[in-house]
């Protein structure tokens, strides 16, 4: 269950395990915390601090989406867990340039391999040119070969950036012109597809942060994204492995013919935004994909993409990360 707060003059308070959503003197929704999976808040409602504490204690991630596009979104959740061994292992390897580069390559390789998933949606739903798709895959496969030999983090990021640019270039050439997608842009997004991509990445990161904290990872200490004030580098690192599924979701959800004008609004300072009338359908679809999150790889190309809840997949990725870190220490 996803709770979306997107109306002005809304107040949230806690009452015996329930979130009371008050929108005016006569309207109150009482939402139980226990079945909540995600809370999304638009704008600046009045929220009692008890609400945040109860949501964090229940392990419910919260995404705060700003009213101004120049402001970044904020994720709220539980504090760092008490599992110290993984966090200590993370710090040791992140402080070792050789080991940090190895994990950065591992993250990028996983992201590049995942492009098969959204590429399938682009071909099947949007009839992308087969030759252009094959050319992209050849470029991706060559990048994976080159990635294995890089010796600096900047070089690894350069390879990832080149493939991402090629991917968004393929989208620009494949999507209907009415979507006005000309490449990746953000803060503010200038077209509906970029608006959906940014929103999807933000929502996915909320789940990733919650699981990463419960596992004991330090969200600020990454391998691919370098630590910086105010940046949750480890969450950004892990999110790279889930971007392909977000791209797949967006390409599967949008209408191949183009957007409905009533589903979007545009302001110069805030960019393109999903309208309130269109948000229920989007969040219903997002709630479904969270429970049936597609794997970025599959063993049999003739079978449907296997799925699992997104939180279980994040736990699986963190376990693989733990194994990679332990293997690197054992080799040192």
- Binding-site positions for Mn(2+) read 160, 225, 240
d(CA 173, CA 126): 11
Place of tokens 């012109």: 177
Known binding residues are 160, 225, 240
Pairing of strands 271-274, 264-267: antiparallel
Contact 201, 63 (CB under 8 A): no
Place of tokens 């492995």: 241
Place of tokens 């015996």: 16
The partner residues of 40 in beta bridges, in order of sequence, read: 4, 63
Burial group, residue 112, by CB count within 10 angstroms (0-12, 13-18, 19+): buried
d(CA 117, CA 120): 5
> How many whole angstroms from its chain centre is CA 39?
15
Burial group, residue 151, by CB count within 10 angstroms (0-12, 13-18, 19+): exposed
The partner residues of 24 in beta bridges, in order of sequence, read: 27
């Amino acid at each position: 269950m996803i709770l979306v707060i997107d109306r002005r003059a809304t107040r949230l308070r806690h009452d015996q395990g329930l979130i009371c959503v008050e929108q005016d003197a006569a309207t109150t929704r009482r939402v139980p915390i226990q079945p909540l999976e995600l809370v999304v808040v638009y704008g600046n409602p009045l929220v009692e601090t008890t609400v945040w504490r109860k949501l964090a204690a229940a392990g419910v991630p919260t995404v705060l989406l700003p009213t101004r596009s120049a402001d970044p979104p904020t994720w709220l959740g539980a504090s760092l867990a008490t599992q110290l061994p993984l966090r200590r292992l993370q710090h040791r390897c992140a402080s070792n340039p050789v080991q940090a580069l190895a994990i950065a390559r591992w993250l990028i390789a996983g992201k590049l391999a995942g492009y098969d998933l959204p590429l399938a949606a682009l071909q099947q739903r949007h009839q992308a040119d087969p030759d252009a798709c094959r050319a992209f895959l050849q470029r991706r496969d060559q990048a994976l070969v080159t990635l294995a030999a890089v010796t600096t983090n900047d070089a690894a990021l350069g390879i990832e950036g080149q493939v991402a640019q090629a991917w968004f270039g393929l989208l620009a050439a494949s999507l209907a012109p009415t979507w006005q997608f000309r490449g990746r842009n953000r803060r503010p997004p200038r077209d509906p597809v970029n608006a959906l991509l940014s929103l999807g990445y933000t929502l996915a990161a909320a789940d990733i942060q919650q699981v990463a904290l419960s596992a004991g990872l330090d969200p600020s200490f990454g391998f691919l994204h370098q630590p910086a004030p105010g940046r949750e580098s480890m969450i950004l690192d892990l999110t790279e492995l889930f971007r392909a599924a977000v791209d797949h979701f967006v390409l599967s959800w949008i209408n191949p013919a183009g957007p409905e004008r009533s589903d979007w609004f545009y302001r110069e300072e805030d960019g393109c935004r999903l309208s309130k009338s269109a948000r229920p359908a989007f969040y219903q679809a997002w709630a479904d994909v969270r429970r049936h999150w597609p794997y970025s790889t599959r063993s049999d190309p003739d079978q449907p993409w296997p799925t699992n809840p997104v939180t279980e997949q994040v736990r699986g990725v963190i376990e693989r990360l733990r194994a990679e870190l332990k293997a690197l220490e054992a080799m040192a």
